[in-house]
């Protein structure tokens, strides 16, 4: 649980959590429960990861997380000081490369994303990896923002 405090910083940041499916965490226990689920979940070390950043002569710090849940749905978040600096793009490139090469994921033909249409940065990042829009649904999530719509995107398995 060494990453608990760093992860809690992410989950309590209103800007980071703006388009997440839950409200920002108000208690450390919420983040601890999330971290336990990550550690002991079936996708830990396979498709669910934290992103560490370690400048020279500095201990690594957790700055984000990303993963592919239920074997096909991608999600991610990054600490605000690291937005727009290429860290998520680098992490996502590694995640996607690894995902498509995993023997236990060979049956997966696609990765999907359910994105709040107001989250332009997320949509832009996904499209930069080849995700295509496949649909738009209204009032799919009731969150701390009220009812939110969903823009559905899909990335098909690359042809070998």
**Tens digit of each residue's pLDDT, the chain (160 residues):** 578 999 999 999 999 999 988 889 999 999 999 888 888 877 665 688 899 998 888 888 999 999 998 778 999 999 999 999 999 999 999 999 999 988 878 888 999 999 999 999 999 999 999 999 999 999 998 888 899 999 999 999 998 6
The three-state secondary structure class of 152 is strand
Query: Computed from CA positions of residues 48, 111, 132, 143, in that sequence, does the dihedral angle turn out positive or negative?
Result: negative
* Dist. CA 90–CA 155, nearest whole Å: 17
Query: Computed from CA positions of residues 118, 44, 69, 146, in that sequence, does the dihedral angle turn out positive or negative?
Result: negative
DSSP state of 26: S
pTM of the predicted protein model:
0.90
- Nearest of 143, 137, 151, 155 to residue 19 by alpha carbon: 143
């Amino acid at each position: 649980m060494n990453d608990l405090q760093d992860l809690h910083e992410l989950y309590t940041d209103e800007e980071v959590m703006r388009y997440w499916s839950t409200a920002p965490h108000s208690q450390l226990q919420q983040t601890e429960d999330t971290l336990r689920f990550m550690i002991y979940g079936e996708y830990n070390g396979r498709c669910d990861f934290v992103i560490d950043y370690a400048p020279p002569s500095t201990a690594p710090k957790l700055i984000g997380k990303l993963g592919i849940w239920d074997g096909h749905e991608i999600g991610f978040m990054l600490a605000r000081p690291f937005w727009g600096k290429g860290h998520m793009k680098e992490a996502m490139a590694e995640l996607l490369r690894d995902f498509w090469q995993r023997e236990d994921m060979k049956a997966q033909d696609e990765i999907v994303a359910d994105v709040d249409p107001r989250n332009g940065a997320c949509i832009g990042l996904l499209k930069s990896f080849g995700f295509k829009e496949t649909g738009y649904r209204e009032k799919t999530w009731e969150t701390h923002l009220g009812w939110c719509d969903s823009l559905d995107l899909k990335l098909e398995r690359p042809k070998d």
